[in-house]
Amino acid sequence: MAITVVGSVAFDSIETPAGKRERCLGGAATHFSLAASFFTDVRVIAVVGEDFGKRQEAVFQARKIDTQGIEHTAGKSFFWEGSYLENLNEAKTHATELNVFATFSPKIPDVYRDSQFLFLANIDPVLQRRVREQMPDVKLVAGDTMNYWINDHRPALLEVLKGLDILLINDTETRILGGNSNLVKAAKAVQAMGPKTLVVKHGEYGATLFQSASAESESTFRVPALLLEEIVDPTGAGDSFAGGFFGYLASLPEITPAAYRRAMFYGSVMGSYACERFGTERIQALSREEIEVRFNLLHELTHLA
Amino acid sequence: MAITVVGSVAFDSIETPAGKRERCLGGAATHFSLAASFFTDVRVIAVVGEDFGKRQEAVFQARKIDTQGIEHTAGKSFFWEGSYLENLNEAKTHATELNVFATFSPKIPDVYRDSQFLFLANIDPVLQRRVREQMPDVKLVAGDTMNYWINDHRPALLEVLKGLDILLINDTETRILGGNSNLVKAAKAVQAMGPKTLVVKHGEYGATLFQSASAESESTFRVPALLLEEIVDPTGAGDSFAGGFFGYLASLPEITPAAYRRAMFYGSVMGSYACERFGTERIQALSREEIEVRFNLLHELTHLA
């Protein structure tokens, strides 16, 4: 079933030990959409400026992603510049220019309204909430956020969390949001804010799924990361993880506890591919068969027999 | 089959966010022996001073560990003082006093000579090598080391590595020893120094097994760490991991590739228990049944179905 995603569609300038790219296609909604498109139909809500042209549009078209909800307006697209020269696990941000996102008011195209799955990628929680409110009848809502919103826009973020089934964030974000240095305790505190399912991403070490179906029924699942001989650019790895995770769930007729475990595997697979080249390059060139190959590798890497 | 282990038997003064302990029983060989004793017979080679008395001896006796190879001499036992106040993953060392270890010359009791398994716990590589040379016919040799020996005693350490089947070290140590910031490449470089099997410990994130049976046959296995709601004291967690890992292997009539995977699980289980109380307290109170309970929990935590 179709996923509607709201989030940034942007240009990124990135420097890593493997090299540099100027103004390549990026943004959380872009990385998420491309990864999820291998599993189900994806529809994007975002805003772009005059610098977003046919070449960028073609990247979405090639993966049959619906871009009717991408608003084109005067000005420049969202821009981010960062580097990973000292630490491949964490970007150092050199510039963030909201540009056309500063005044964005998301509108949901009518053709998107039958989407059963909604993903609120990392943007201002005020925008996340506005989209959520316009789609009250979706079956499953997942979202992402970051330290900036957790630290400086907490009340708005807490409103968003109330309406989430699934939250995907990293270790540090979980500890800050949950107010506890112990991951298990922090996760419980975050789940109490709304999302019954919490996916904590550990970068090169993998990810953990915390689920509380009820006060009596809790379950956890951990998946280590695939081992990569070369990490070219980790930008978008978390969004690609989310795309694989949520895209797989949306592709199923029924979402069982076992499905969540397999979704963690697909998330991990998409996150690992995303790191192999700059920006969206590797995922653009990916095939469904390669996804299955790596799913099986991850099985072999983690299962006793 | 019996394991002979050489390494420190010591007193530790430890401070963590959970509290403080003065001069509790510690040392790499102590933690290793206690953990391994749940799986097979263990024989210790070490040296202690006059401060090591009946109370300390009783801890080994309770687990039926052979202490005939612990030499008693004039002076004080090895002493370490450290804290984990800022970071539970890495100790800050306040004091290391070699004391009786400064002039130690390890001697292997005749009754130890039929040991088929040898563990060289973290001590001066010169001592590790002397023990290795006195036991040329063992079936499997594993060892541990630390940054200090890697950085400042590299030639002596490289000699030890040549005689090892298995090396257990952490992420940072692997990257420094292997001379590469990429874990996979660093692991390959370390394997080329001798140990065909390398276990890299990731603290709260688990551990990775790298094995190269031949140039054509390589395999990897990753196990995430069990999730703990409280970490009281991580001291000895790595040695307890090694004890569970190597103790399990030594207990088997045949060591298959699948056995190494299960050994990673047992290592992880013993490491997780070690963190639950100060020093050796939790492992002293442990039962074989509790080990199986947590092995099953780890299976549930990591397997798709």
- Per residue of chain B (305 residues), give pLDDT as tens: 999 999 999 999 999 999 999 999 999 999 999 999 999 999 999 999 999 999 999 999 999 999 999 999 999 999 999 999 878 888 899 999 999 999 999 999 999 999 999 999 999 999 999 999 999 999 999 999 999 999 999 999 999 999 999 999 999 999 999 999 999 999 999 999 999 999 999 999 999 999 987 656 779 999 999 999 999 999 999 999 999 999 999 999 999 999 999 999 999 999 999 999 999 999 999 999 999 999 999 999 999 98
Q: Which two tokens stand for residue A224?
A: 């280590």
Token look-up 């475990």 returns: A261
| pLDDT in the model for residue A214 | 64
With beta carbons less than 8 A apart as the criterion, state whether B92 and B235 touch.
no
Report the SS3 class of residue A168: strand
A264–chain B nearest CA distance, Å: 10
Report the SS3 class of residue B36: helix
CB-based burial of residue B266 (10 Å sphere; 0-12 exposed, 13-18 middle, 19+ buried)? buried
DSSP symbol at A252: -
Distance CA A123, CA A170 (A): 16
Contacts of A227 in chain B (CB under 8 A): 183-184, 208, 220, 222
A223–chain B nearest CA distance, Å: 6
| pLDDT in the model for residue B105 | 93
Nearest chain A alpha carbon to B229: A184
A302–chain B nearest CA distance, Å: 6
Alpha helices in chain A (DSSP H): 28-36, 54-62, 125-134, 147-152, 154-162, 171-178, 183-191, 237-250, 257-274, 281-284, 288-302
Q: Which two tokens stand for residue A215?
A: 């006060």
Question: Touching check for A171 and chain B: CB below 8 Å?
Answer: no
| pLDDT in the model for residue B78 | 97
With beta carbons less than 8 A apart as the criterion, state whether A140 and A40 touch.
no
Contacts of B201 in chain A (CB under 8 A): none
Distance CA A246, CA A270 (A): 11
pLDDT per residue of chain A (305 residues) written in tens, 0 to 9: 999 999 999 999 999 999 999 999 999 999 999 999 999 999 999 999 999 999 999 999 999 999 999 999 999 999 999 999 878 888 899 999 999 999 999 999 999 999 999 999 999 999 999 999 999 999 999 999 999 999 999 999 999 999 999 999 999 999 999 999 999 999 999 999 999 999 999 999 999 999 987 656 779 999 999 999 999 999 999 999 999 999 999 999 999 999 999 999 999 999 999 999 999 999 999 999 999 999 999 999 999 98
With beta carbons less than 8 A apart as the criterion, state whether A89 and A202 touch.
no
Question: Touching check for B261 and chain A: CB below 8 Å?
Answer: yes
| ipTM associated with this complex | 0.94
Backbone angles phi, psi at A21, to 5 degrees: -135, 135
Contacts of A261 in chain B (CB under 8 A): 304-305
Backbone angles phi, psi at B47, to 5 degrees: -135, 140
Distance CA B19, CA B23 (A): 14
Backbone angles phi, psi at A15, to 5 degrees: -125, 130
How many residues in total does chain B contain?
305
Please list the residues that pair with B47 across neighbouring strands.
Answer: B71
| pLDDT in the model for residue A215 | 59
| pLDDT in the model for residue B87 | 81
| pLDDT in the model for residue B180 | 95
Mutate to test the interface with B, among A182, A200, A300 (most CBs of B within 10 A): A182
| pLDDT in the model for residue A49 | 98
Phi-psi region of A64 (alpha: psi -120 to 50; beta: other; left: phi over 0): left
CA distances from A203 to A88, A90, A224, B216 (A): 9, 9, 9, 29
User: Are the Cβ atoms of B223 and A302 closer than 8 angstroms?
Assistant: yes
Contacts of B224 in chain A (CB under 8 A): 205-206, 208, 222-224
User: Are the Cβ atoms of A229 and B182 closer than 8 angstroms?
Assistant: yes
DSSP symbol at B37: T
| pLDDT in the model for residue A261 | 97
Mutate to test the interface with A, among B185, B205, B256 (most CBs of A within 10 A): B205
Question: Touching check for B202 and chain A: CB below 8 Å?
Answer: yes
Question: Touching check for A58 and chain B: CB below 8 Å?
Answer: no
Cβ neighbours of residue B16 closer than 8 Å, sequence gap 6 or more? B83, B84, B85, B88, B231, B232, B233, B234, B278
Q: Which two tokens stand for residue B218?
A: 């390589």
Determine the residue type at B130.
R
Distance CA A121, CA A111 (A): 20
